[in-house]
C-alpha cells in the first residue's frame, strides 16, 4: 500500500490507520479534517508502538480504537471523541480533556487526566503518580491503584479509585471529590476524609455505571476533599506549605 | 555660658536604610511577607549603561526622513506554517485577565493591532475582548492551565509555553481572593473569593526532553500552523535558550528581572533572576553556537522603556522586544491624576505596585466594576499605539544614524558601555577603550 493511501474498506467499516504505513501527522490531520456530522465515525489505529500524541485535539464525536500501547499525551485536549487504548498509556493521557471519553485497557503513566476540564477517563489497570493533577472538571475512574501526589491542586471533578492511593493524595486540593475504595498511604496538605452522604453515594454510583464497573458498591469507598483551610492565605498555616 | 561639643549630623545606615527599616516593622506587625506587583525596583545595570556610536568618517548615516529603515520582523518561521509577521519589533507581553481588567485587556489588543504587532494572553485564559480586538494574539500555555481549551488554542495566532518569568524564575503565582469576581472564577474553574495559587511547574511535563514531546503535542493539535514560543525567566539564559531550541521552539522569550508580575513576594522579585541586560548576550550566544540565530527568533523583555532600549536590545542580537509595565503606563497606570487616591492607599503615583489588591485607582489592575470604568479601551488603546509609534521612530532614528536600513542590522559594534559591569554583560567595549571584560584573558 502506498504510504499516502488511507485504507477504507466499506462505508461502515472503521477507517483503519496503520502507523507502520502512515505518519502520526497524517492520522491527526485526518481526524482534524472531520466535518461535523461526518459518517466516518469509527476509526482504528494499528501499530501505535508507543507513539506520542496519538489522536490529540479531536473535536468530533467519533470512536477511535487504538490497538496497542501509546506514548505521551494520547487523546490530549479531546473534545467529544471516544478513544479506547487496547494497551497501556504513557504520561499525560487525556491531558486537558474537554469532553468525550478515553478508556485505557492497561495501565497509565504519570499525570493521567492532568488539568482535564470534562469528559470521562477510565483506566482499567493502575495509574502512576500525579493522576488527576490540577483536574478542572474531568471524571477519572481507576480500576487499580494510583501513585503519589495524585489530585494535586485538583480544582473540580471526580476521581474514583477502586484500589489504593499513594502518598500525599489531594495535596492543596480545591473542590474536586476523591473516592478511594482501598487504603490511602497519606493525605496531602488540606485534604481530609469527608462524610459520604446520600448525594455522594448516588454520584459515585453514576460514575461507576458510566465507567462500566460492576460488582462494586459505592458504600465500599471513602470520600476525601478539601478542608478549605488554605483558601485564603494565613501566616499561621505556613507550616502546611 | 556652657560650652557644648559640636554635634554630629544624625547618620542613617546604608545597610539599614529607611525602606529596610519599614519592611522589618511591617513584617513584625503582620507576620506575612510583602507581596506586590511589577518587577525589580533596585538599580541594576541596564540599557542606560550603553551608548550608540553613530556614524562618523568610517561609516555614513542614512537620511533621517527619506531613507527607509525597516522595522518588520517575522516570528516563528522555523516550523510554523503560519508565522507571525509584525510591523514593529515591539510586542505586548503576557498579562492575565484577572490581574488586569477586561477594558485594560481590550485596550492592549486595540493598541497592538493599530501598531501592527501582537499582544499576549496571561494566566487566566483568553477573553473575547482581547481575541476580538487583537489581530495577532499569542496564547500562553501556563502551568495552571486556567481557561486552557481546544477552541482558544486553535484560534490563537501563536502559542507561548511559559516556563518562567523574569520577576520570579522558579516561582508560581497567587491571585488574591479579592480579585476573583464571578467571571474570573468561572474562567479558572475555582470558587469565587478564594486565593488562586498558580503552580510553578507544568503539571504534565518536567525537563527539556518532556518539553520536546509537549511541543510536538501542541503542534499536532494545531496542525503545525502556529508558531510555538518558549518563555523563560532570566536565570540561565545560555542553557535555557539552547534547551528551548533543542525542544523545538520557534521563538525563545527571555524575561529579565525587571519584567513585571501581577503579584509575587518582594523578596523574590528583588533577589532571584538576572537583569535583562545580562540575559541577552548569553541567549544570543546560545543561538549562534547552535547555528540558529535569526532562524529561531529571540524576544527579550523586562524594563524596555523607549526606542533606545529597543535599538540596544536589537543591536545585541535580539529579534524583538516585549513590553508589559510600560504598556500599562501608556494605558494610564500610575498616572499622577489619581494622586489623591494613591495617597489614600498609602502610596504615590509612580510607586503604586499593590496590583494584587484590586484597588487600582487607574482601573487597570482591578476587577472592581466602578474602577475599571476609568479605562476607556478605545482611548487607552490609542495611547498605547502612540507610544509604540514613538518607540519605533526613536529606534529608527538611532538605526539611521548608525547607517542601518533595518533595525535588525544594528550590531554590537555600534555600541559602547559606560560601566565595566555593562561592558562585561553586554560584551561590548568600555567607552573609549577596546576593553571587553572577560575577553582576551582580561
The reply to whether residue A235 touches residue B31, judged by beta carbons under 8 angstroms, is yes
Kindly list the residues from chain B whose CB atom is less than 8 angstroms away from the CB atom of residue A52.
213, 216-217
Kindly list the residues from chain B whose CB atom is less than 8 angstroms away from the CB atom of residue A98.
149-150
Alpha-carbon distances, residue B59 vs A100, B70, B396 (angstroms): 65, 19, 17
Kindly list the residues from chain A whose CB atom is less than 8 angstroms away from the CB atom of residue B31.
235-236
pLDDT attached to residue B194: 80
Among the partner-chain residues B150, B210, B216, the one whose CB lies closest to the CB of A59 is B150
Determine which of B35, B188, B189 to mutate to test the interface with A (most A C-beta atoms within 10 Å): B189
Domains, chain A, with CATH or none: 15-24+39-226 (2.160.20.60)
CA nearest A236 in B: which residue?
B31
The reply to whether residue B32 touches residue A59, judged by beta carbons under 8 angstroms, is no
Q: What is the rounded average pLDDT of the residues A74-90?
A: 98
CA nearest B198 in A: which residue?
A153
pLDDT attached to residue B197: 78
pLDDT attached to residue A238: 66
Total number of domains in chain B: 1
CATH code for the domain in which residue B146 is found: 3.20.20.70
Confidence check on the interface: ipTM exceeds 0.85, yes or no: yes
The Cα–Cα gap between B175 and B187 comes to 13
**How many angstroms away from the CA of B193 is the closest CA of chain A?**
8
The DSSP call for residue B353 is: -
Answer for the pair B88, B310: CB distance below 8 angstroms, yes or no: no
Confirm whether pTM is higher than 0.90.
yes
Alpha-carbon distances, residue A139 vs A82, A102, A112, B172 (angstroms): 14, 11, 11, 26
Determine which of A115, A150, A239, A241 to mutate to test the interface with B (most B C-beta atoms within 10 Å): A115
pLDDT tens readout for residues B196-220: 778 899 999 999 999 999 999 999 9
CA nearest A76 in B: which residue?
B217
**Domain hosting residue B378, numbered range:** 35-426
B27: enclosing H helix or E strand? helix B18-30
Q: How confident is the model at residue A5 (pLDDT cuts 50, 70, 90)?
A: very low
The Cα–Cα gap between A122 and A141 comes to 5
Among the partner-chain residues A72, A156, A236, the one whose CB lies closest to the CB of B217 is A72
B82 falls within a domain:
yes
Among the partner-chain residues B189, B216, B220, the one whose CB lies closest to the CB of A57 is B220
Residue that is written with C-alpha cell 478564594 in the block? B194
Looking at every residue in chain B, the average pLDDT score rounds to: 94
Kindly list the residues from chain A whose CB atom is less than 8 angstroms away from the CB atom of residue B32.
233, 235
B67 falls within a domain:
yes
CA nearest A175 in B: which residue?
B190
pLDDT attached to residue A232: 77
Alpha-carbon distances, residue B162 vs A153, A198, B94 (angstroms): 19, 43, 10
Say which residues have a Cβ less than 8 Å from residue B175's Cβ, sequence separation at least 6: B96, B98, B99, B123, B124, B184, B195, B196, B198, B262, B263, B356
CA nearest B27 in A: which residue?
A235
B219 falls within a domain:
yes
The Cα–Cα gap between B255 and B428 comes to 21
B5 falls within a domain:
no
A56 and chain B: CB distance < 8 Å anywhere? yes
Cα distance between the two ends of chain B: 64
Among the partner-chain residues A28, A71, A235, the one whose CB lies closest to the CB of B220 is A28
pLDDT tens readout for residues A161-186: 999 999 999 999 999 999 999 999 99
Of B60-69, B76-85, B428-437, the one with minimum mean pLDDT is: B60-69
Amino acid at each position: 500500500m502506498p504510504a499516502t493511501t488511507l485504507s477504507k474498506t466499506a462505508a461502515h467499516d472503521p477507517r483503519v490507520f496503520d502507523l507502520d504505513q502512515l505518519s502520526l501527522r497524517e492520522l491527526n490531520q485526518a481526524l482534524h479534517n472531520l466535518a461535523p456530522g461526518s459518517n466516518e465515525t469509527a476509526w482504528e489505529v494499528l501499530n501505535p508502538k508507543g507513539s506520542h500524541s496519538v489522536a490529540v485535539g479531536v473535536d468530533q464525536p467519533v470512536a477511535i480504537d487504538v490497538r496497542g500501547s501509546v506514548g505521551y499525551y494520547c487523546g490530549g485536549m479531546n473534545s467529544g471523541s471516544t478513544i479506547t487504548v487496547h494497551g497501556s498509556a504513557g504520561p499525560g493521557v487525556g491531558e486537558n480533556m474537554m469532553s468525550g471519553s478515553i478508556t485505557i485497557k492497561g495501565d497509565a503513566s504519570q499525570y493521567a487526566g492532568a488539568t482535564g476540564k470534562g469528559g470521562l477517563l477510565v483506566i482499567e489497570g493502575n495509574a502512576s503518580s500525579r493522576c488527576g493533577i490540577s483536574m478542572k472538571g474531568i471524571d477519572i475512574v481507576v480500576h487499580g491503584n494510583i501513585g503519589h501526589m495524585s489530585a494535586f491542586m485538583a480544582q473540580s471533578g471526580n476521581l474514583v479509585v477502586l484500589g489504593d492511593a499513594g502518598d500525599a493524595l489531594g495535596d492543596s486540593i480545591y473542590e474536586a471529590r476523591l473516592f478511594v475504595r482501598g487504603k490511602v498511604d497519606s493525605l496531602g496538605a488540606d485534604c481530609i476524609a469527608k462524610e459520604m452522604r446520600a448525594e455522594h453515594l448516588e454520584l459515585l454510583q453514576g460514575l461507576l455505571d458510566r465507567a462500566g464497573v460492576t460488582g462494586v458498591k459505592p458504600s465500599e469507598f471513602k470520600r476525601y476533599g478539601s478542608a478549605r483551610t488554605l483558601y485564603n492565605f494565613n501566616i499561621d498555616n505556613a507550616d502546611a506549605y | 555660658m556652657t560650652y557644648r561639643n559640636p554635634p554630629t549630623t544624625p547618620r542613617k545606615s546604608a545597610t539599614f536604610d529607611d525602606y529596610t527599616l519599614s519592611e522589618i516593622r511591617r513584617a513584625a506587625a503582620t507576620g506575612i511577607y510583602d507581596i506586590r506587583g511589577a518587577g525589580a525596583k533596585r538599580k541594576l545595570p541596564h540599557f542606560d549603561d550603553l551608548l550608540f556610536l553613530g556614524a562618523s568618517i568610517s561609516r555614513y548615516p542614512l537620511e533621517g526622513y527619506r531613507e527607509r529603515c525597516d522595522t518588520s520582523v517575522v516570528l516563528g518561521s522555523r516550523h510554523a506554517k503560519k508565522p507571525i509577521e509584525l510591523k514593529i519589533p515591539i510586542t505586548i507581553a503576557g498579562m492575565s485577565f484577572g490581574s488586569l481588567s477586561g477594558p485594560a485587556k481590550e485596550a492592549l489588543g486595540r493598541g497592538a493591532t493599530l501598531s501592527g504587532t501582537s499582544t499576549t494572553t496571561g494566566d487566566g485564559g483568553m477573553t473575547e475582548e482581547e481575541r476580538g480586538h487583537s489581530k495577532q494574539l499569542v496564547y500562553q500555555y501556563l502551568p495552571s492551565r486556567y481557561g486552557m481549551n481546544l477552541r482558544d488554542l486553535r484560534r490563537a495566532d501563536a502559542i507561548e509555553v511559559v516556563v518562567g518569568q523574569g520577576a520570579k524564575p522558579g516561582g508560581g503565582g497567587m491571585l488574591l481572593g479579592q480579585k476573583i469576581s464571578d467571571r474570573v472564577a468561572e474562567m479558572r474553574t475555582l470558587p469565587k473569593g478564594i486565593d488562586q495559587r498558580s503552580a510553578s511547574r507544568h503539571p504534565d511535563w518536567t525537563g527539556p526532553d518532556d518539553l520536546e514531546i509537549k511541543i510536538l503535542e501542541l503542534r499536532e493539535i494545531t496542525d503545525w500552523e502556529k508558531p510555538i514560543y518558549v518563555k523563560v525567566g532570566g536565570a540561565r539564559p545560555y542553557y535555557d535558550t539552547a534547551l528551548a531550541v533543542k525542544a523545538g521552539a520557534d521563538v525563545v522569550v527571555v524575561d529579565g528581572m525587571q519584567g513585571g508580575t501581577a503579584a509575587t513576594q518582594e523578596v523574590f522579585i528583588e533577589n532571584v533572576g538576572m537583569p535583562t541586560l545580562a540575559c541577552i548576550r548569553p541567549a544570543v550566544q546560545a543561538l549562534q553556537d547552535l547555528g540558529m540565530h535569526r532562524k529561531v527568533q529571540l524576544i527579550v523583555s523586562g524594563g524596555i522603556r523607549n526606542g533606545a532600549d529597543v535599538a540596544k536590545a536589537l543591536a545585541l542580537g535580539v529579534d524583538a522586544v516585549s513590553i508589559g509595565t510600560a504598556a500599562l503606563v501608556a494605558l494610564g497606570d500610575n498616572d499622577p491624576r489619581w494622586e489623591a487616591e494613591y495617597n489614600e492607599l498609602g502610596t504615590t503615583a509612580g510607586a503604586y505596585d499593590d496590583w494584587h489588591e484590586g484597588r487600582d485607582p487607574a482601573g487597570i489592575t482591578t476587577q472592581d466594576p466602578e474602577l475599571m470604568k476609568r479605562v476607556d479601551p478605545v482611548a487607552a488603546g490609542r495611547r498605547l499605539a502612540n507610544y509604540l509609534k514613538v518607540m519605533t521612530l526613536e529606534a529608527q532614528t538611532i538605526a539611521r544614524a548608525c547607517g542601518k536600513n533595518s533595525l535588525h542590522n544594528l550590531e554590537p559594534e555600534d555600541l559602547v558601555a559606560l560601566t565595566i559591569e555593562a561592558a562585561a554583560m553586554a560584551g561590548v567595549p568600555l567607552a573609549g577603550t577596546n576593553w571587553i571584560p572577560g575577553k582576551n584573558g582580561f
